[in-house]
Amino acid sequence: MKFFLLVFKNVRRNLLRSALTTLGTMVLVFVVTVVWSILALLDLVTQEKKENLKAIVTERWSIPSRMPFTYADTLAEGAARNPGDLRPTDSMTWQFYVGTLDREKLTRENFVIALAVQPEKLATMMDGLDDLRGQEKEALEKAIQALRQNRRGIIVGRTQLAHTNKRVGERLTASGIGEFKGIDLEFEIVGLFPPGRYDQMGAINCDYLNKELESYPLKHSGRKHLLADRSLNLMWLKVPDTEAFNRLTGQIDAAPYYRSPAVKCETASSGIASWLEAFRDLIWGMRWFLAPACLVTLALVIANAISISVRERRTELAVLKVLGFSPTQILLLVLGESLLLGVGAGLASAALTYAVVNWGLGGIAFPIAFFDRFMISAHALWWGPAMGGLAALAGSFLPAWAARNVRVADVFAKVA
């Protein structure tokens, strides 16, 4: 206890230096904590599940995937043709719709990005919506019911609603853009998504989009819309386990229905992993360059502070040896000082980052795929002190070793 007190008092000896070292450590631990939280999220979503898997069926050779909506019926059955073939426990069609509130002003704020789905599937198939509880679940069920009853309904995310400057119950008109040009839809806002990953998108009834695609030739001299036969972006099929997934993949691959275009079936995690391939270099850089560079810098910051401290206190360390402190105790004293700084600053930084990001900001925007926002991992509460501690040990070992080897006779030969 007294030894710890001595360590603590030594750290307080030069408050400015200790404060600056602590600040430097906190900043670097913050950066690494954020980076590792993102990587942990990516690892989690690309980790293969063993049970209750979602299989994704997409066009095999083309990105973005565009399949005929007619594929949906047979895919929903898992392409089962024979008695005993496996059928998915649930399924969901995905059709994206992109429109704008103002054709003259194509800003992000005016975009209406919506997922055209079978409304009831929102509650059973969508990540983050299938496990809602309490009031949020009730509100979503009410919105889904309204979407089923009102083919022109839309359930919107909080950010999207804020951009439209509308309220639930009001109407909005979206003009199709890009491949959706010519598909103008009128919606009534029937509900909101719970805050979180769906803040920036909406969900519409797929019947509405499909009817509009069907009726397009009536208004355009019999000409079909560009997406008429390729409006299905992907299909989600739920299966109980890996074995079922493998059987389902076999059935779909062998089915004669999906020749042009051909389709492929993969797990949601491998689908996301394939999609993340586009960000491979960025993710590699974060994992193997940015985070290690921060840790090395952290060790150097601490090494610098401890080196100066040891050099300044050479005589004092010699006095401790004279009093009977062993070389190992001197080593531990100096390592203890750097550990106190590193672990303390690491813990403070991680705890502060966790509290501010998760509780204060409600997550940090990470608008790729459907991640939307990400939270700081609870593991950060041990990452921080571990990072600070290990960097402190690595950075202070040489100065501590120099302190351990201070030769009393050399020091006092000059003094006396």
Per CB under 8 A, which of residues 11..30 are in contact with another protein? 12-13
Q: Report whether 204 contacts 180 (CB < 8 A).
A: no
Angle among Cα 138, 139, 144 to the nearest 5 degrees reads 95
Residue 352 within binding range of another protein, rule CB under 8 A: no
Compare residues 288 and 412 and give the one whose CB is closer to another protein. 412
Compare residues 47 and 328 and give the one whose CB is closer to another protein. 328
Residue 416 within binding range of another protein, rule CB under 8 A: yes
Compare residues 239 and 318 and give the one whose CB is closer to another protein. 318
Query: In the bound complex, what is the minimum distance in angstroms from residue 332's beta carbon to another protein?
Result: 13
Per CB under 8 A, which of residues 393..412 are in contact with another protein? 407-409, 412
Chain position carrying tokens 């950066």: 31
Query: In the bound complex, what is the minimum distance in angstroms from residue 409's beta carbon to another protein?
Result: 4
Residue 224 within binding range of another protein, rule CB under 8 A: no
C-alpha to C-alpha distances, 213 to 111, 183, 230, 231, nearest whole angstrom: 20, 7, 10, 9
Compare residues 9 and 219 and give the one whose CB is closer to another protein. 9
What is the C-alpha to C-alpha distance for residues 118 and 190, in angstroms, rounded to an integer? 15
Residue 329 within binding range of another protein, rule CB under 8 A: yes
What is the C-alpha to C-alpha distance for residues 74 and 393, in angstroms, rounded to an integer? 61
Provide the residue type at 244 as one letter.
Answer: A
Query: In the bound complex, what is the minimum distance in angstroms from residue 8's beta carbon to another protein?
Result: 9
Compare residues 75 and 411 and give the one whose CB is closer to another protein. 411
Query: In the bound complex, what is the minimum distance in angstroms from residue 309's beta carbon to another protein?
Result: 12
Q: Report whether 263 contacts 72 (CB < 8 A).
A: no
Query: In the bound complex, what is the minimum distance in angstroms from residue 339's beta carbon to another protein?
Result: 18
Residue 328 within binding range of another protein, rule CB under 8 A: yes
Query: In the bound complex, what is the minimum distance in angstroms from residue 11's beta carbon to another protein?
Result: 10
Site mask for another protein (CB under 8 A), range 353-392, x = bound: ----------------------------------------
Per CB under 8 A, which of residues 306..325 are in contact with another protein? 315-316, 319-325
Chain position carrying tokens 């603590």: 8
Residue 413 within binding range of another protein, rule CB under 8 A: yes
Compare residues 6 and 348 and give the one whose CB is closer to another protein. 6
Chain position carrying tokens 């054709």: 103
Sign of the CA dihedral 63, 68, 74, 77?
positive
Query: In the bound complex, what is the minimum distance in angstroms from residue 364's beta carbon to another protein?
Result: 41
Query: In the bound complex, what is the minimum distance in angstroms from residue 416's beta carbon to another protein?
Result: 4
Residue 288 within binding range of another protein, rule CB under 8 A: no
Residue 139 within binding range of another protein, rule CB under 8 A: no
Residue 9 within binding range of another protein, rule CB under 8 A: yes
CA 83 from centre of chain: 42
Query: Which residues of this chain interact with another protein, rule CB under 8 A?
Result: 2-3, 6, 9-10, 12-13, 315-316, 319-329, 407-409, 412-413, 415-416
